[in-house]
Amino acid sequence: MMQRSRPYRRVFLLALASAVLVQETFAQATLAQEGQRTFSSGYRFVEMSGEELYNNVCRGCHMSDAGGATGAGSYPSLAANSNLESPGYPITLVVHGRRAMPPFGGMMSDAQVAAVVNYVRTHFGNNYRDMVTAQDVSEARR
Amino acid sequence: MRASRRTGGGLKNTRMQDETAGVTRRDLLSLIGAMAGSAAMYHAMTSLGFAAESRYQGPIKLGGDPKGASVLVLGAGLAGMTAALELRNAGYQVQVLEFNKRAGGRNWTIRGGDSFTELGGATQNCDFQPGLYLNPGPWRIPYHHRALLDYCKRLNVVLEPFNQLNHNAYLHSVSAFGGAPQRIRAVRADFQGHVSELLAKATRQGKLGEAVTKEDQEILLQALRFWGALDRDYQYSASLDASAVRGFAAPPGGGLAALPVPSEPVGLSDILKSGLWRHLRNFAQYNFQTTMFQPVGGMDAIGKAFAKEVGDIIRFNAKVTKIKQGDRGVTVSYIDTTNPSIQNSVTADWCVCTIPLSILSQIPLDVGSAMQAAIEALPYAASVKIGLQFKRRFWEEDDAIYGGISYTDLPIRQIAYPNSGYNRSGRGVLLGAYMFDTANAYEFTAMPPAERVARAVEFGAAIHPQYKSEFENGVAVAWHRVPFTLGCSGEWSEEGRKQHYANLCQIDGRIVLAGEHASALPAWQEGAILSALDAITRLHERVMKT
């Protein structure tokens, strides 16, 4: 019995080895394509730049092109969005949240909120050049 | 303005999923308290009748004749189907509208052959072997969730144990013990042993002063030796007694080399600095105490059992677009998502609405300003679960881990092993990541699904190196990307509850809300069911009066 089954076993192991290769290649390719990514260690985000905050947080709902998404409810598109003209509006939403938008005031510093608001207001077809400051965010927290 | 999260710690300690976030020295002390004092506390409380296990009063009794009154239920999750089942039994005409093409809502199981398209359009096709599954939503049932357990019994849902604590699973920190995972058994024994030794020393040196009577000091010393596995000199040492708790260097065997060899405990400072003690709380908390259960074959057995009862009155693929009420009834507009060009509407005398507030807050709704403010104020937690299929159950074969959960400070936070199919050869699926309401939950939500899976494999390999060669495929569900909820569960702050909770739960004209968000058990199925039972009890009283 043992003798007879050995060749099959060898073939199986060979097949297994090539499958491993395929899987690892797939995983590595996925990670290589996505590149380095920052991970936070606790409740607060460690990402600091507006771009990285958008990609690691906002993108979850507003998507890569900021076009939003719709299911039973919607995440609004931030692309070419005139609601972003007044900076106080996005600051308040990021800090305090509203409806399906979670509040990030406890997870981001004033500087982080300012950075991501500035990023969104100058990308995705938005071109609002009046930069917001950490001070503006601090005032919105009250 | 909505109440911000993270103000006040009162509710935080009872939040059931927040298992590892933000542990302080105070938590360490309360953990000691929990482990040393809970039994005494429990006996004191039960004798006073304070520690009742549940608010559930047994099967609901809605007496009297509703005289053909009609109720429209929105949402066919557990809250909606509980309401539908009981109201129909009480004589109401009931209809249910459901957004999905299936019943159950967050009570959901993904198996091989299933496909899931998340918001943003990415579709995952699950390749799990038949019999293997992921519960992306609820996955465990505490023994004190008596309402849910009663429905499982009435609806013939077969349960099996869910292992929250497996002493042989791991606690892991990238910055402790050179990143080597530690057995839960050993961490707990060492933590308990060193604390006992310290307290015994203080007791014997008379440093407790008048806090403990002379007589009680003798009892305390006995207890510490017993509880901490201390030796005759009240030391926590490399003894066979200590090893009988923390495990042996060489366990007892048979024949010539049969005698056990004791293991060497980890030093107090190393245990303290490792921070691994913080995870022990996950086994001490009321919500996670044994016995916990899971339905055999997947959590969706519960949703399916409900649907067997009320499936005939559920209209699927119905996306609610407007909820109007007047003196005589409620009219709900919806579109059939398979034929979206046509507007439909249903009218009923009353409405039980279980739509998650993340969605309901976007639907035009005729309710008072207090309820509307409450609906708009509740944020929904971020959560991600990732199921990974491996060629073999290496966690059993190589690591002797049968069920239970390993905890880590890596972004994946947990690895949970299947609580069924033990000791079988062949493939297995484990939960390769479970983040709840941490920054990592958002970070993983923001990734494409394939990357979530690849990252979970990459991180998990630090605990189980076998991942690299045994991984086959995976499925990742990020709850903010789920089209029918737009988030995991209601995330109440203490302040938010004070301001909005009562307003949310009031009957507003002919509309009452139900769901986990309208309960003090957010994110638990029990909360959904208890909320529905409370809502329809009050609604029925109102109907009987009119």
pLDDT in tens, A66-97: 999 999 999 999 999 999 999 999 999 999 99
Q: Do B21 and A40 touch (CB under 8 A)?
A: no
Can you tell me which residue has the tokens 């409450």?
A: B374
Question: B107 CB contacts (<8 Å, ≥6 apart)?
Answer: B77, B78, B137, B138, B299, B300, B302, B303, B525
Give the number of residues written for chain A. 142
DSSP B136: S
CATH 3.40.50.300 at B70-99+317-378+491-545, yes or no: no
Beta strands in B337-485 (DSSP E): 339-348, 350-353, 383-390, 404-408, 414-417, 428-436, 471-478
Nearest residue, CB atoms, A100 vs list B380, B448, B458: B380
Tokens at residue B26, please? Answer: 């105070």
Interface contact flag, B358 A105, Cβ < 8 Å:
no
A96 Cα to chain B: minimum distance (Å): 6
* Cα–Cα distance for residue pair B117/B109, rounded to 1 Å: 14
Please state which CATH number belongs to domain B183-273.
1.20.1440.240
Q: Do A99 and B485 touch (CB under 8 A)?
A: no
Radius of gyration, alpha carbons of chain B = 26
**B 526-545 residues with CB below 8 A of A?**
none
Q: Which residues of A touch B319 (CB under 8 A)?
A: 72
Nearest to B398 by CA among B453, B332, B329, B470: B470
Does a structural domain hold residue A97? yes
Mean pLDDT split into 10-residue runs, chain B, 546 residues: 40 41 50 55 48 85 96 98 98 98 98 98 98 98 98 98 98 98 98 98 93 95 97 96 96 94 97 97 95 98 98 98 97 97 96 98 98 97 98 98 98 98 97 96 98 98 98 98 98 96 98 98 98 98 94
Tell me the C-alpha distance between B9 and B61, whole Å.
Answer: 37
Residue A43, domain member (yes or no): no
Domain with CATH 1.20.1440.240 in chain B: 183-273
Residue A63 lies in a domain: yes
Same domain membership, residue A80 and residue A123: yes
Check B481 against A74: CB less than 8 A apart. no
Alpha-carbon distance of B135 to B300, in angstroms, equals 8
* CATH number of the domain to which A94 belongs: 1.10.760.10
CA distance, residue A36 to nearest chain B CA (Å): 11
> Is the same domain home to A118 and A70?
yes
For B209: left if phi > 0, alpha if psi spans -120 to 50, otherwise beta; the answer is left
SS3 of B404, please? strand
Residue B366 and residue B326: Cα distance in Å, rounded? Answer: 9
Query: Quick check: B382 contacting A, CB < 8 Å?
Result: yes
Pairing outcome for strands B414-417 and B404-408: antiparallel
Q: What is d(CA A128, CA A140) in angstroms, rounded to the nearest whole number?
A: 19
> Could you give the residue ranges of the DSSP H alpha helices within B68-211?
78-89, 146-154, 184-204
Q: Tell me which DSSP letter residue B277 carries.
A: G
Residue that is written with structure tokens 């300003």 in the block? B369
Q: What is the pLDDT of residue B31?
A: 56
**C-beta atoms of B362 and A59 within 8 A:** no
Distance, in Å, from the CA atom of A112 to the CA atom of B19, rounded to the nearest integer, reads 26
The boundaries of the domain holding residue A79 are 50-140
Q: Which residues of A touch B489 (CB under 8 A)?
A: none
Q: Which residue of A has its CA nearest to B447?
A: A60
Which of B1, B379, B446 is opposite residue A60, by nearest beta carbon? Answer: B446
Q: How confident is the model at residue A24 (pLDDT cuts 50, 70, 90)?
A: low
- Phi and psi at B430, nearest 5°, equal -120, 165
What per-residue confidence (pLDDT) applies to B16? 40
Using an 8 Å CB-CB cutoff, list chain A residues near B382.
Answer: 60, 102
Residues 400-439 of B with CB under 8 A from A: 409, 411, 438-439
Check if CATH label 3.90.660.10 holds for domain B1-48+107-176+275-296+381-484: yes
Q: Is residue A40 one of the residues assigned to a domain?
A: no
Same domain, A121 and A66: yes
Whether residue B363 lies within 8 A of chain A, CB to CB, comes out as yes
Contact at 8 Å (CB) between B102 and B78? no
Put simply, whether B22 touches A (Cβ < 8 Å) is yes
Going by C-alpha positions, the residue among A88, B517, A131 that lies closest to residue A96 is A88
Q: Both tokens of residue B260?
A: 């056990």
Collapsed DSSP state (helix, strand, coil) of residue B150: helix
Q: Are residues A27 and A62 in the same domain?
A: no
With CB atoms and an 8 Å threshold, state whether B4 touches A105: yes
Chain A residue closest to B478 (CA)? A60
CA angle B186–B228–B291, rounded 5-degree value: 65
Token pair for B72: 């429209």
Instruction: With respect to residue A87, please indicate whether it lies within any of the assigned structural domains.
Output: yes
Q: Is A44 among the domain residues?
A: no
Token pair for A104: 């990030």
How crowded is residue A23: how many other Cβ atoms within 10 Å of its Cβ? 18
**Residues A65 and A19 placed together within one structural domain of the fold:** no
SS3 of B313-379: the string is HEECCEEEEEEEECCCCEEEEEEECCEEEEEEEEEECEEEECCCHHHHCCCCECCCHHHHHHHHHCC
Residues on chain A touching B469 (C-beta within 8 angstroms): 20
Cα(A35)–Cα(B435) distance, integer angstroms: 22
Where exactly does CATH 3.90.660.10 map onto chain B? 1-48+107-176+275-296+381-484
Helix B525-545 × helix B78-89 angle, to 10°? 40
Q: Which pLDDT does position B32 carry in this prediction?
A: 54
* Residue contact B486–A73, C-beta within 8 A: yes
- Which of the four pLDDT bands, split at 50, 70 and 90, describes residue A142? confident
Does A45 fall in a domain? no
HSE (side-chain half, CA atoms, 13 Å) at B504: 28
- How many structural domains comprise chain A? 2
- pLDDT for residue B23: 47
Cβ of A99 within 8 Å of Cβ of B439? The answer is no
In a domain, A80, yes or no: yes
Give the Cα separation of B488 and B383 in Å (integer).
Answer: 6
- For the cut 90, the answer to whether the pLDDT of residue A17 exceeds it is no
Residue B437, Ramachandran bin (φ over 0: left; ψ between -120 and 50: alpha; else beta): left
Both A64 and A119 in one domain: the answer is yes
Chain B residues 217-236 within an 8 A CB cutoff of chain A: none
Q: What is chain B's length?
A: 546
Query: Which has the closest alpha carbon to B429: B112, B117, B115?
Result: B112
Three-state secondary structure of chain A: CHHHHHHHHHHHHHHHHHHHHHHHHHHHHHHHHHCCCCCCCCCCCCCCCHHHHHHHHHHHHHCCCCCCEECCCEECCCCCCHHHCCCHHHHHHHHHCECCECCCCCCCCHHHHHHHHHHHHCCCCCCCCCCCCHHHHHHHCC
- Asked whether the CA dihedral B86, B92, B98, B102 is positive or negative, the reply is positive
Q: Do B355 and A46 touch (CB under 8 A)?
A: no
A122 in the same domain as A91:
yes
How far apart are alpha carbons B464 and B169 in whole angstroms? 11
The closest alpha carbon to B333, from B74, B68, B71, belongs to: B74
Which pLDDT belongs to residue B30? 57
Cβ atoms of A95 and A113 within 8 Å: the answer is: yes
